[in-house]
Amino acid sequence: MKNLIITMLAGALMMGFATEVAMANESGPKVKAKRFIVIDDATGAVLYEKKSTERCAVASTQKLLTALCVSEAGLNNTVYVKHSDTTVEPSKIYIRSGEKYSRGELVKALLVKSGNDAARALARDVAGSEAKFSKVMNAKAKSLGMNDSHFKNPHGLTVTGQYSTARDIAILARSVTRNKTLAAHMKLKGYYFTPPGRKKRWLSNTNKLLKSVSYCTGMKTGTTRASGRCLVCSGELGGRKVIVVCLGSDSQNIWKDSEKLLRWALEGAGKPAIQR
C-alpha cells in the first residue's frame, strides 16, 4: 500500500498538481461519469478522482485549448470566413462565407455556444489549416504538462488518434481560468451575437450549471458518441475555487454528476486527503 501511495503522489507531482490525493472510492459522492477529477484551483491539489489518467475522447471540452491558443496568438486580428469553415457539423453559430469578425468575437461564441464553425475559422486564421493548428495545440498542451493528450482538430469531433484525460483537461482548465478574457466569457449565461448585416441572435451558454448553481463560474461542455456527455465546470465560494472535470457521463446524469462534485468540493467535505 505504501508503494502504491508513493507512486500516486509522484504521478500527481509530475502532472503539476499538489501531492494530496483522494481516491475515487473514498469519501466523495457517487457519480455515473466513467472518469472525473476535482482539483483545487489555487494549489492544484487533487481532491477526488476516478480513472483520471485514462485516455479517451473529450469532445468540445478541448475547445478550451483552442481558445487559449487563439488568445495567445492575439484576439484583435480580423477573421475572414471561408465556405470551408461553415461546412462542419453539428454545433454551429452559423457564420457565413465572406463575413468578417475579430478573433475575439469568435472565441466568445466558441466558449458560450460551442460553435464548431467558429473553431474551424479560428484555426485556419491562426495557423493556415486545422492540421497546422493542431500542432499549435499540441505544443501548448505539452508546455502545460498535458502529457497524456494528442489533438487533431480544434473542435473535438471524433477522429482516430485524438485523445486526452480528465487530469490533462483539469491542467488545461486551470490555465484557462487565469486568462481574464476567457474567464469572463465562460461565466456568461448568454449574450447577443450580431453577424454583420444580419439580426442579432441570443446565444445561450451550453453550461446549464450557470443557472442551477449560483457560484458556478463557467467552463465548457462537450458531447459526441465516442466521448459521452462531458463537462468541465468551475466554482468559487467562500474564497475557495475548484475545477471539476466529468468525462463519459450520459444525458440524464452529466448535470447531476457535475453539480454533486462541485457542491461536495465547495459546500461539503471536499478537502484534500490521502488514502489510508
CATH number at residue 166: 3.40.710.10
4 is a domain residue? no
Average pLDDT, the chain: 90
Q: Any idea what the Cα angle at residue 233 is, between residues 232 and 238, rounded to 5°? A: 150
147 is a domain residue? yes
51 is a domain residue? yes
245 is a domain residue? yes
Inter-residue contact 47 to 270 (CB < 8 Å): yes
Q: What is d(CA 85, CA 165) in angstroms, rounded to the nearest whole number?
A: 28
158 is a domain residue? yes
> What is the total count of domains within the chain?
1
Mean pLDDT of the region 125-143: 98
- Which residues sit opposite 244 in a β-bridge? 38, 233
Q: What residues are labeled active site?
A: 60, 63, 114
Q: Which residues are within 8 A (CB) of 106 and not within 5 positions of it... i.e. 6 or more apart?
A: 79, 95, 115, 118, 121, 122
Q: What's the pTM?
A: 0.89
47 is a domain residue? yes
For the segment 151-207, what is each residue's pLDDT rounded down to a tens digit?
A: 999 999 999 999 999 999 999 999 999 999 999 999 999 999 999 999 999 999 999
For the segment 29-85, what is each residue's pLDDT rounded down to a tens digit?
A: 999 999 999 999 999 999 999 999 999 999 999 999 999 999 999 999 999 999 999
60 is a domain residue? yes
1 is written with which cell numbers?
A: 500500500
* Statement: residue 142 has pLDDT above 90: yes
Domain of residue 191 covers 14-267
1 is a domain residue? no
